[in-house]
Structure 1
Amino acid sequence: MSPLPTIFVSHGSPMLALQDSPARRFLQELGQSLPRPKAIAVVSAHWETAGSPAVSLAPRPSTIHDFGGFPQALFDMRYPAAGAPEVAERAAALFEAAGIPVGRSADRGLDHGAWVPLKLMYPDADVPVMQISLVRGASPAVHEKLGQALAQLRHEGVLVIGSGSLTHNLYEYRGQPVDAPAPHWVSEFESWMCERLEANDAEALLDYRNRAPSAKQNHPTEEHLLPLFVAMGAAGAGAKTQLLHSSFEHGVLAMDAYAFN
């Protein structure tokens, strides 16, 4: 089996599950364009643990509706994929082999950073899924190392997905329509990230906070960008970057997606 790519997707607002947009249509096609995985490991912006990563061993992960103020139709949605506890234990073993302590959750479900894009990519929920947490407050370099520890998974038929958002400042969201144009501080950051990713400039990317234009305005907190660095690391040394999709939603959300292979 050829190794799978690793993927970063921007999941934007939970309304992605309901509301038509270029990013939604892209995700609906993405699952069909990828080699079929035996399981999926998702690193979502919406699960952070203190001090070290954790894996979910849930055999039937619940659908977590970790949001408020949205239509009832979103709360009625379920994503009934089977869990992947054996893959979770394999990920934990890879962390431990790399000297990285790891926690285990018996019952952590799928948050919307996982199930919303997966519901679009694999609507039949027929690929087992497990989640891996971010480390709260840890740097991009730490998260790249977490990915590097997991690099063997892509050779074992596991699709590693980092799910976040290329830009994510909801303080700047003021009811803009889904197709609102991006302000310059969003588009300039998106362009810089794209240039550095396609150049495989890991040094600049890991220091994006100091080098990228309007970095702190686009990411007042870092959790929505950190899954990108896990996906980068999990592709292994020498991996090339491919831009899969670029669009903006509500002006402030860059919905870019990348493959690393």
Structure 2
Amino acid sequence: MDAYTRLPTLFLSHGSPMLAVEDTPAGRFLDALGAGLPWPKAVVVASAHYAAEAPALGAAVRPRTVHDFGGFPGPLYRIEYPAPGAPDLAERIAALLAEAGLPARLHEDRGLDHGVWVPLRRMYPEATVPVVPLAVMPHGDAAAHRALGRALAPLRDEGVLVVGSGGFVHNLGDLDWARRDGPLADWAGEFADWMRAALAAGDWPALLDWRRRAPHARRAHPTAEHLMPLFVALGAAGDAPAVRTLHRSHEFGTLALDAFAFD
């Protein structure tokens, strides 16, 4: 096996699909992020926008770019991100998941949803790094997603970057379009601060029980799929990872765009 530098795992908040093209703090952060990491041989992205009842992986040779959103400017729908797939890696991951008692399905026709291609387009604009999408499970809890991530931990030593792409605070129903750059709503800020403190303290039991313990949890995440990629990335980093805050910004009062590395 080739020798690789052990990679961190990442949680990235992808916010609006406009992150792909707008000049924002989150966008500029992602522009610099790829160059600041060891170059990966492939990227596995657990995306909030790929949902399955049980573990699932995209195994397309040439995954299409999926524009899974509506109501945005026309040019956004013409963007293509022609990164190659990695069917062999998808099979390797499926084997790791099976060893962990988590058998996975391979979807050979799965494209790259915007939770995958929007951040990767800014990190790796050349679209040369192979990509494997990984599903989140809407009915699975934080512990289930951490277990999913744990099965991926060997990939860190194989040159594979494991990314969770979601949203740190993600409530579309309460968006305040008049405060693009204003502060987070009080309740959103209280939830984000609780999560940041728990991550910094390594309080994994509290984090896994976030629905009951975090303030305003159900308002911060009316549905949980945007937070579950965090637990995949956390699990893939091992039992007691160091947590590094890479970025903080926010939009429209209810979208916190924090990003973290787990080593």
Alpha-carbon distance in 2 for matches of 1:223, 1:238: 23
1:36 to 28, 39, 46: 39
3-state DSSP of counterpart to 2:170: coil
Gaps spanning 5+ residues in structure 1: where? none
Alpha-carbon distance in 2 for matches of 1:230, 1:176: 33
Letter in 1 for 2:169: T
| 1:15 match | 18
Letter in 2 for 1:204: A
| 2:246 match | 244
**Contact residue 21 and residue 178 of structure 1 kept, 8 A:** no
**Contact residue 80 and residue 125 of structure 1 kept, 8 A:** yes
TM-score, normalised by the number of residues in structure 2: 0.97
Deviations along 1:146-186, whole A, 9 cap, x unmatched? Answer: 00011111111000000000011100014234312211111
| 1:195 match | 197
| 1:217 match | 219
Tell me how large the CA RMSD over aligned residues is: 0.9
**Contact residue 56 and residue 132 of structure 1 kept, 8 A:** yes
Q: Post-superposition shift, 1:2?
A: 2.5
Deviations along 1:182-233, whole A, 9 cap, x unmatched? Answer: 1111111111111111111110000111111111110000000000000000
Alpha-carbon distance in 1 for matches of 2:192, 2:154: 30
| 2:150 match | 148
Letter in 2 for 1:16: L
| 1:166 match | 168
Alpha-carbon distance in 2 for matches of 1:176, 1:16: 18
Please tell me whether residue 47 in structure 1 is matched to residue 50 in structure 2: yes
3-state DSSP of counterpart to 1:172: coil
When structure 1 is superposed on structure 2, of 140-149 and 170-179 the one drifting more is 170-179
Q: Post-superposition shift, 1:144?
A: 0.3
| 2:235 match | 233
Please tell me whether residue 69 in structure 1 is matched to residue 68 in structure 2: no
Letter in 2 for 1:194: R
Letter in 2 for 1:113: G
Letter in 2 for 1:149: A
| 1:259 match | 261
Q: Post-superposition shift, 1:53?
A: 0.7
Alpha-carbon distance in 1 for matches of 2:55, 2:120: 22
| 2:126 match | 124
Please tell me whether residue 83 in structure 1 is matched to residue 110 in structure 2: no
Alpha-carbon distance in 1 for matches of 2:46, 2:178: 28
